[in-house]
Structure 1
Amino acid sequence: MLRGLTTVSHFSDDVPAAVAWYAELLGIEPYFQREVQGKLAYVEFRLGDYQHELGILDRRFAPPGAGTPGGTMTYWAVDDVEATYQRLLDLGGTAQQSPTEHGPGFVTASVIDPFGNQLGVMFNQHYLDVFTGRPA
């Protein structure tokens, strides 16, 4: 039924500002951009081991109620939760959950980005085990 993650969408009233923030955070530029009525409306970054997509969407196209903190949390795999969490704060994120160990091999943290979206990061040993065990 569910086959895997395709795109994680974050919403913004100022897409160019959100793109600049995420480009600074990720150290990469988006690979796809779309304008609607001459205004940047959607941008995608591909990142990580599986080239998952992080989309930045103009809030006017978001489903009702989407993009507000609460509900579902997506965690991005990172090697160092504390360093990543600090970088997110240094770039203007607002603390939501400081680094928290949930058992051996599982540490999470989250911030609210400057555009009102939850951004979770996680060290997840299971993720690493799956990644290193996949066929080349």
Structure 2
Amino acid sequence: MSTVSYFADDVVQARDWYASLLGVDAYFERSTPDGVLAYAEFRIGDHQAELGIVHRAFEVTPSDGPCGAVLYWAVDDLDATLARLEELGARVHDEPRVRGEGFVTASVVDPFGNVLGVMTNPHYLSVVDRIPG
């Protein structure tokens, strides 16, 4: 995974929500010619993956409900992460589910209608531990 895009009607509100969740500010932004923020991008995680917040006007297949593939972000503490997400206004989409030893997934719907997956993943941790530096 290099980039994931989430959509929002109000990119400023979504950018600020994700900045609060992630503890980092967006490093790149792009506005429409009339000054409406159309895109904000964060670099996050061990590999500086890109999380883009795109104005819903540019969504190719709009939906009235949560939809799309669920991309799971590896987290150190699933329960604390879920609590933080709910504190910020996300609602549970899928309760934590054990998928195998050490593999636990859950998902929420952010305040903008996007499904955000989180998980504990020992395989991911073992890969990160093998990266030099």
TM over 0.5: yes
Distance 2:61 2:68 in 1: 13
Which of 1, 6, 12 pairs up with 2:2?
6
Which structure 1 segments of 5+ residues have no match?
Answer: none
The secondary structure found in structure 2 opposite 1:84 is: helix
Aligned length: 132
Distance 1:67 1:32 in 2: 28
1:72 aligns with 2:75: no
1:22 aligns with 2:29: no
TM-score, normalising length: structure 2: 0.94
Alpha-carbon distance change, 48 to 7 in structure 1, aligned in 2, over 3 angstroms: same
Q: Which amino acid aligns with 1:98?
A: E
Distance 2:2 2:64 in 1: 17
Residues 68 and 115, structure 2, Cα contact 8 Å, conserved in 1 = no
Match of residue 112 from structure 2? 115
Cα distance, 1:69 vs. partner? 1.8
The secondary structure found in structure 1 opposite 2:100 is: coil
Which of 60, 71, 80 pairs up with 1:83?
80
Match of residue 47 from structure 1? 44
Which structure 2 segments of 5+ residues have no match?
Answer: none
Q: Which amino acid aligns with 2:130?
A: G
Distance 2:121 2:64 in 1: 25
Q: How does 1:92-131 map to 2 (within 5 A)?
A: 92-131=89-128
The secondary structure found in structure 2 opposite 1:25 is: helix
Cα distance, 1:67 vs. partner? 8.7
Query: Percentage identity across aligned positions?
Result: 54
